[in-house]
Amino acid sequence: MSKRRRRAQKTFEKVPVVDAGARGKSVAKTAAGEVIFLTDAVPGDVVDITTFKKRKSFYEGKVVHFHERSSRRTTPVCKHYAECGGCKWQEMAYQDQLYFKQKEVIENLTRIGHLDLPSIDPILGSDQQYYYRNKMEFSFSASRWLTLEEIQSDQQIEDKKALGFHIPGMWDKILHLDECHLHPAIGERIRLSVHAFAKANEISYYAPREKSGTLRTLMLRISSTGDVMVVIQFFEDHQAHRTELLEHLKNEFPEIKSLQYIINEKANDTIYDQEVICYYGNDFIMEQMENLQFKISAKSFYQTNSQQAYELYKVTRDFAGLDGSQTVYDLYTGTGTIAQFVAGQAKKVIGIESVPQAIEDAKANALYNKVDNAEFFVGDMKDVFTSDFIDEHGKPDVVITDPPRDGMHKDVVAQLIQLAAPRIVYVSCNSATQARDLSLLDDIYKVVKVRPVDMFPQTHHVENVVLLELKK
């Protein structure tokens, strides 16, 4: 064992777990002030810890013994919780999840952003704490991940096929799922039926190291209207097996409105550069929000929690304070859902997005919804959102910005400062980068409202909406 490895391995006894940290990890702190990040503990636990990694100011470790179990604990509902890693907070009661999510938002805005905050509205929790995802992606594997108990047993394991999720951090290891509590029941039935049919008919599963096998990925999209889309990605194109499986799904599940497939022989399984072939039904399903309907294709972006997306957009629209007279810019508009959602209360909406397919979807949906006061433009935000663009399309009264996790480019922030729109509504899926951006805007804007929204129960992820107004 290397000296570096020995230094990282230390044992700490009876350490209290005091907080929930970034990326779903819990924080333990020794009496001497040493900080240890854990993945298998809940604030309030008292534990013995063995560390496996040493950083400059903290350790990473695992629990080897519990002395006390936290009152915040609850029993995970999923049998795969320990191995899967998809719902890391299942062991924590939902009200406590909300508490720590709001706490993280406040700490990021104050510690990173150094912002003076108003009284913050309570985090908006989700009525659905399970079965809320409208999109799920599963991978096939010819050789599934084996649990430690299976490896240590004398049992001969004949069936190694898997349909499930990647083990965290392992690109070629798939955990087979007998159950999943993230998507609606129809999705569960379809996934289990695909697996059973493929096994019974000896359809091969993908082996990533050997680059062989037929079945590669399964995507399920289930809209709030009840429409179901199934997209199966094949590596090797065995027409007979492909047709058998697709016909099985077509006949067994009348709920399927869109049945599509992809033949993908490249190294990675991303579909955005692949042709999606419609086998049955339409090449889209429909989502609905108030009086708006959105066509969702296999490659479309749409918030993966339909019910909470509606709540998030209502908060955004409320913060925008529209009365029908304002020009609104919607930066990072995606498929234009927020733009169209607020358009009924605006004079004009301008949406900007870097992904061409998303802008095509936005224009098509606006046409379908008869939203004639919204225009959409494609290009890198820092290159499109310029003074010349603003001169051409008019100065906004309100800017809504919903950037990716990395936040806004510094040139976009600089343009917002130069623009000095009366009001900015900043929607973020990463309050740390949001805080960084808000600190840059702090010279001319004040934070007026803050409302966290929980889009992903059982996980550490949290959305946050901030209203900024020009300082007087």
Strands 162-166, 256-263: pairing is unpaired
Tokens matching residue 357: 């397919």
Q: How far apart are CA 376 and CA 23, in angstroms?
A: 34
Burial class of residue 194 in the structure, from the number of CB atoms within 10 Å of its CB (0-12 exposed, 13-18 middle, 19+ buried): buried
Query: What's the 3-state SS for 405-433?
Result: CCCCCHHHHHHHHHHCCCEEEEEECCHHH
Q: Are 123 and 96 in contact (CB under 8 A)?
A: no
Q: Which long-range contacts (CB under 8 A, 24 or more apart) does 10-15 make?
A: 10/50, 10/51, 10/59, 11/48, 11/49, 11/50, 11/51, 11/64, 12/36, 12/48, 12/49, 12/51, 12/61, 13/48, 14/46, 14/47, 14/48, 14/67, 15/46, 15/47, 15/48, 15/49
Query: Could you tell me how many residues make up the chain?
Result: 472
Helix (H) or strand (E) run with residue 50 in it: strand 46-54
Residue 429 appears among annotated catalytic residues? yes
List residues with catalytic annotation.
429
